[in-house]
Structures are given as C-alpha cells and as structure tokens.
Amino acid sequence: MKVQLQHQSVRVRVDEDELARLLAGQTLSNLTRLGTAPPWALLIVLGTQDAASLEYEGHAPRIVLPAGLITAYSGRLPCRDGLSFRLEQGHEALQVQFDVDVRDSIRQRGATRRGTVDVPVS
C-alpha cells in the first residue's frame, strides 16, 4: 500500500493482492517508524456503510471504505480512475483518494479495450 499525504488530502494506492485481501475482510496497514518517536500508522478496512468514515484504533487512524463501492470499483478494473471520498470531521474535511495500481491490474487481469478482446501483458 502506498500512501501520499499532502495537507488535508490522503491518496491510498493498493496493488491487486492488497485489494483481494481488503475484499476478503482483512485490514490493510501502512506503518512508518520515525526514529524513537511512536510509529505512524494508517489502516484501511471495508465497512457496510454507504459512505467512508474515519475511526481510530488506538492512536492509528483507520479509514473505513464502503464495501459496496470498492467491490463495484474492483469489477471495472483495470482503470486509471479511482474513488474519491470526503471525510467531514472536526474543523477541516479530509479528502481521500483510493485507487488500484493500473499497471499491476493490467499485469494481473489483462488490458481490455472497447471492441477488442483481452490482451495479456507480459
């Protein structure tokens, strides 16, 4: 899982294996250790709700994504478009972008173009 942070924006990009784990009900985690400071972690999990939410597991933020939307998104891979969520908590909203690495999707699933058949990529 790759995480990019900038101001009030988080981009999470996963590969196909991580997506499969997420869809199977597992929690994805990204842990960064900064010297002797407590580690920084971000957790991603699916939930049954219709909107994304932000929770905390101890001190680690956990982004809960709607399982239905992630499952539907998974069905249209590979694609360059991701999903965008706005989390309203506190004074400022957090913008979350979730996507699956398109190159990994093409390697795993093959490329599909309109009017053509799947083309395996090696």
Interval 44-79: pLDDT, tens: 999 999 999 999 888 889 999 999 999 999 999 888
What pTM was computed for the model? 0.83
Residue 107's pLDDT is what? 81
Instruction: Please list the ranges in the chain whose pLDDT falls under 50.
Output: 113-122
Residue 122's pLDDT is what? 43
Residue 116's pLDDT is what? 39
Residue 112's pLDDT is what? 67
Residue 92's pLDDT is what? 87
**Coil, strand or helix at 6:** strand
* 94 close to 10: Cβ distance less than 8 angstroms: yes
How do strand 40-47 and strand 60-66 relate by DSSP bridges?
parallel
